[in-house]
Amino acid sequence: MGIPFGQQIKNLWLDVKAMHKGLPANQYELGRYEELHGYLKTMFGHYNSGETGRLEADWSSSYDTPTANFKSTWRIIIARAIASTDNNCHTIGLLNALTSNIIGTGLRPQPRVKFASGEMITGLNYQLSEGWKRYNDEWDATGRQTHLEAQKMRFGEMFRTGTTITNRVKSEKGNYLSVENQVLNVLRLDDSYDLLMPTYSDPNIKNTIFGINFSGKGRPISYHIQGVDTAISVDNMYHHYKQTQAEQYIGIPWIVVALKYLWANENLIKDKLIASRIQAMIGLYLPDSQYTRLARNDLDGDKNLKWIAGRVFHGRPGEKPEVVQADDSIQAVLEPIQSILLHAISMTLGISYQTTTRDLVKTNMASGRLNTNEDRKTYRHIQKWFAKEVCQRDWEEFVFRMFLEGKIPGKTVADYLSDSWRYNQCQWQGPGFDFIDPQGESMAAIELNKNNMLTLQEWYGERGQDWIDALDQKAEEQEYIKSKGLYVEPDKKEVQKQSENKREEIED
């Protein structure tokens, strides 16, 4: 015979009370009752984040796609990100830290075209390297910057606006190659052409979002630019952004999550500075037994009180003092709150508070090194992405033009088109990182190299150098030193002895 309904309710209530008290409850019975009475699922859902009770009434979110979430406010968000970068010292500090460690003096291409056997095609790589030197100088249509310098600007554009757009145009001044480039601000996109349904004027265009015409597969076809009558073909436009979500068709400012914290921190400082200035202007009315003698100095020629900011005024004996001095809590309140905000801001970009603020007060060697190593992981990740997404696209256009315009002796554009992937192979060398512990790191590198655990490419790459170029330079220097009779053969035994001594120190 089954349990009566009334008893079920009683058992359920006892189980619920037990759960609230932290006691083990009859989970089977509770689950069975929920199964029989489905309306309780809203009360006993598995995921807390899915509850919709009174406590979650103000927890609102959007069901829209990333494009729809960004579409209605994209210009406002970008404008605020630009304003923050132009006016907020912490924002520009973040940008400077990322730019100097990721871009530095610029990522430099090292062509790596190989034969089918895997050997480098030295002559072809040399031609490409030499051609790039001139194309680098003539890359910008305005003539104001090289490709190396434009990397900083384009990186900054993505930091501020989330996107950088490059328009390839015909050269008008007899450049080495027949093309040069314009960098456009993303706000130049003309979203007045945006469609809510497919257009029938061009069967290839299925939708227009942010002024960009897209195919049914989400590939850009052309771009509507303010001030230009017709859309510019994707063949001449490079649109770069860091895609982090599916169905995302435009970049989002990198500091979008940090913006509210940057704004809060900026206003916090303003409010505290205003309060501090007001406090500095407050006077104190104090009763004094020597009122007659002292008050004389506080009166003007008309026997009126002379108001001076920060002055202590003396009153008649026995009167109540007028104490109007608020607590100036800048050090006690402002610094801790600002520290919390700056920690949050730093985390949004994956770099440490130490790097963002240059605050080393509570930092020791171990924590400083840990933070630096973690920061470098972030730099390398973004650097590899930037090289692949931005620089490599420029390189591939350059290589194509070199073949197309007959700049490679014995090669034609047909050779390039037969295997463009092979001819486009290139390694981008970014800036290196300084030693944290020069002696310890150098000795560790010697040990790793001796045990075949470290390659020259890894070692020199960490310093921002190409290992082949570095060895060529070293060989040239040694030959020159020998020619001057100054070369001294290193004492291998002494070097080994120093290495062993250092290893023993580390082990101890």
- CA dist list (Å): 52 to 41, 42, 56, 60, 251: 11, 8, 5, 10, 32
What is d(CA 93, CA 354) in angstroms, rounded to the nearest whole number?
12
Between helix 74-87 and helix 259-281 the angle, nearest 10°, is: 50
β-strand pairing of 426-429 with 108-111: antiparallel
Between helix 89-102 and helix 74-87 the angle, nearest 10°, is: 90
What is d(CA 372, CA 306) in angstroms, rounded to the nearest whole number?
57
- CA dist list (Å): 181 to 147, 169, 402: 10, 6, 16
Residue located via tokens 């008649």: 316
Q: Is the dihedral of CA 196, 202, 205, 206 positive or negative?
A: positive
Indicate whether 120 belongs to any domain: no
The answer to whether 207 touches 195, Cβ cutoff 8 Å, is yes
Indicate whether 14 belongs to any domain: yes
pLDDT at 204: 84
Which residues 6+ apart lie within 8 Å of 142 measured at CB?
A: 182
507: containing domain? 432-508
Indicate whether 464 belongs to any domain: yes
pLDDT at 405: 95
Domain count, the chain: 2
Indicate whether 365 belongs to any domain: no
Per-residue pLDDT of the chain (508 residues; tens, 9 = 90+): 556 767 666 666 666 665 555 545 455 455 555 555 555 455 555 667 777 777 777 777 777 788 888 888 999 999 999 999 999 888 998 999 999 999 999 999 999 999 989 899 999 999 999 999 999 999 999 999 999 999 999 999 999 999 999 999 999 888 999 999 999 999 999 999 887 665 667 788 888 999 999 998 889 999 999 999 999 999 999 999 999 888 899 999 999 988 888 888 888 777 766 666 665 655 555 555 555 555 556 666 665 555 555 555 556 666 665 544 445 555 666 777 778 888 888 888 888 888 888 777 777 777 777 788 888 889 999 999 999 999 999 999 999 999 999 999 999 999 999 999 999 999 999 887 776 666 777 777 777 777 777 787 777 777 667 777 778 888 888 888 888 888 776 666 665 666 666 556 555 5
pLDDT at 324: 45
Indicate whether 470 belongs to any domain: yes
pLDDT at 306: 59
Indicate whether 80 belongs to any domain: no
Indicate whether 294 belongs to any domain: no
pLDDT at 200: 62
Indicate whether 369 belongs to any domain: no
